[in-house]
Structure 1
């Protein structure tokens, strides 16, 4: 399963909390992130978040995200799924759909082709979209990092407002997979809402063998 949302929405915190709760049930859990999640993909992460690839434009960034995702899947995600572990990823292919597609204006057909080649059938069973106003998310992100904003955090407010709307539209378009959760609540309340969604939609009584991330 995956967590998505704008900057500062609290994805990393909720990935950790959910992972710990599932482990307490005796379920093997692998928590990971994008871009990154494998040695090769972490190298691409630095290139992307440093802003070094920004002058090349959203299309080039989408291709780099796809390359990192392919390595992430091959090295981390698919081996974990094959042994019956749950995989929880902080961002996945939906972020490319939104950041480079909906907001970056890369043709949706090209995004879909990149996703088909890299992701194939290894798609999330459940995606939690943490929804938070752009202004609040950016304030949280700045407080969290304590340093200069990364490539995407440094974009203007209109960019982040468009991100939020694109994620909300995704939740409306794919309700069988996506659950929109109010990220403005305190972390404990968000974690409980996430748990309710997981409990309702995924088989907690098994080790989720063969489940997608």
Structure 2
């Protein structure tokens, strides 16, 4: 079983045409064991993020337990503006997972990196885990991440996730469900981001498609 029991709520993007659905494929190299989580601590010690966000705001610290990890491939495009978008997009993902892993949506990072429809969707999504006494463990790989800028304050990011090595974990018993992965373990995401007054690229809208052929190996 992959670690996502249900899809994120599909929300209509205001400029879906700007998203490159063909961006996701299967040519990326597999994640390395030493890859770090963007903006997250895994063992009580601060680790350098895989992508470095701009230091224009007082950014909250995101922490993960030792048995859960997100790996973000790419992120260095050579364009500082796109790199900043990809960095904050990764932190948006980490913020949602931090809420799931901590068992509460009352975290500073969740509303820091997510806003508008994406925030309400993320809260509801995390709450489904919490209400079911579930969390997750393992490694989720994010790949084929591509950013498209639309002016100075709007951007779009597409990416794929590989959940074949992350699994549902019961919060009370600690039991991890390692059922066999399937094509549904690969998910395509299309997201919209807006740069706020503090210079943070907040994810404001998101559509996800589980089992997307664009993300299959």
Give me the TM-score of the superposition, normalised by structure 1: 0.30
- Greater relative contact order, per chain length (Cα 8 Å cut-off, separation 6+): 1
Looking at secondary structure, tell me which structure has more helix per residue.
1
Looking at secondary structure, tell me which structure has more strand per residue.
2
